[in-house]
């Protein structure tokens, strides 16, 4: 059985807290014994996990880009939730739905950052099309800092059809587009809502745009015409959080 690597202090800590039964073995980089690593070791000891010290070179080989922060958890392959689980996830949402849709976000780093922001904003579900979307791999999970364990990420075959299903549930679809006439600050975001973020540069695809109930923009004051998709996601989601809190 081929094991999956989860690396990074936040990602491994969250995994040990939420799903420790998945972990088979823990690798710790030789010579790292600081307070943050001590917390990881305490969690591993509570679960009676095998802990192995490994040299930095070996760990760099096993982790994408070598950015493991001195810890790798090896776990059994996880069956991530799929499109067939979507109705149950939607049925289980408590409170006012706040959903994030990523249309064409292909960089795992951006996906991880969007998941981290979504978790911080209280998003209950992240949806993306199966084609031209980043997979939830080890890089995305590491950047997400544990949010990949907390927020369901569902890739769907037909995004337009899924958006229709959300609308039939009373969830309004708000898409972001630079040419939109109204800004995110003029949009009522207090009700059940799915926010659609498009790819940097090209934005949302035409069919996705056509299935939105509203289109909004983020006002830009400087010379730069756009911001990174994860930054834009944070701006929009926390405007929804601000409105709902008020």
> Does the annotation flag 198 for ligand binding?
yes
**Short-list 111, 147, 148, CA closest to 132:** 111
In this structure, the dihedral spanned by the alpha carbons of residues 82, 5, 75 and 70, taken in order and rounded to 10 degrees, is -140
Reported as a pLDDT band with limits 50, 70 and 90, residue 223 is: low
- The proportion of the chain whose per-residue pLDDT surpasses 90, expressed as a percent, equals 57
What pLDDT score was predicted for residue 72? 92
Q: What are phi and psi of 7, to 5 degrees?
A: -135, 165
Q: What is the pTM of this model?
A: 0.82
For residue range 77-87, list pLDDT tens digits in order: 777 788 999 99
Asked if pLDDT for residue 76 goes beyond 70, the answer is yes
Reported as a pLDDT band with limits 50, 70 and 90, residue 11 is: confident
Mean of pLDDT over the chain: 90
CB 215 within 8 A of CB 203: no
**What's the rounded Cα separation, in Å, for the pair 13 and 22?**
13
CB 138 within 8 A of CB 3: no
Strand stretches in 10-166, DSSP E: 23-29, 50-54, 71-75, 98-103, 125-129, 153-156
In order of their start, the domains of the chain are 4-75 (3.30.1330.30), 83-245 (3.40.1280.10)
Residues in the chain, total:
246
Q: What is the mean pLDDT of residues 3-31?
A: 88
Higher pLDDT, 142 or 43: 43
Q: What is the mean pLDDT of residues 165-188?
A: 95
Q: What is the mean pLDDT of residues 130-147?
A: 83
> Does the annotation flag 171 for ligand binding?
no
What pLDDT score was predicted for residue 32? 79
What pLDDT score was predicted for residue 137? 83
**Short-list 94, 113, 137, CA closest to 197:** 113
Q: What is the mean pLDDT of residues 7-13?
A: 87
For residue range 106-118, list pLDDT tens digits in order: 999 999 999 999 9
What pLDDT score was predicted for residue 146? 74
- 61-70, 103-112, 191-200: least confident range: 61-70
What pLDDT score was predicted for residue 142? 76
Asked if pLDDT for residue 175 goes beyond 70, the answer is yes
């Amino acid at each position: 059985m081929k094991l999956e690597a989860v690396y990074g202090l936040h990602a491994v800590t969250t995994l040990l807290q939420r799903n420790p039964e998945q972990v088979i073995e823990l690798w710790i980089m030789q010579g790292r014994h600081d307070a943050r690593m001590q917390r990881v070791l305490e969690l591993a000891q509570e679960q009676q996990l095998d802990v192995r010290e490994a040299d930095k070179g070996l760990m760099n080989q096993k982790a994408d880009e070598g950015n493991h922060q001195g810890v790798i958890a090896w776990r059994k392959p996880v069956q991530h939730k799929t499109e067939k689980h979507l109705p149950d996830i939607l049925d289980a949402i408590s409170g006012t739905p706040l959903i994030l849709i990523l249309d064409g976000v292909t960089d795992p780093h951006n996906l991880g950052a969007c998941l981290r922001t979504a978790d911080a904003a209280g998003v209950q579900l992240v949806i993306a099309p199966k084609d031209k979307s980043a997979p939830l791999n080890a890089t995305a999970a590491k950047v997400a800092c544990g949010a990949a364990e907390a927020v369901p990420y569902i890739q769907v075959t037909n995004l337009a059809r899924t958006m229709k299903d959300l609308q039939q549930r009373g969830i309004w679809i708000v898409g972001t587009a630079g040419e939109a006439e109204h800004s995110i600050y003029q949009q009522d975001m207090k009700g059940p809502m799915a926010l659609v973020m498009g790819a940097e540069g090209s934005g949302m695809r035409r069919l996705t745009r056509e299935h939105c109930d509203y289109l909004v923009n983020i006002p830009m004051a400087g010379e730069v015409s756009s911001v990174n998709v994860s930054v834009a996601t944070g701006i929009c989601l926390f405007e929804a959080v601000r409105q709902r809190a008020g």
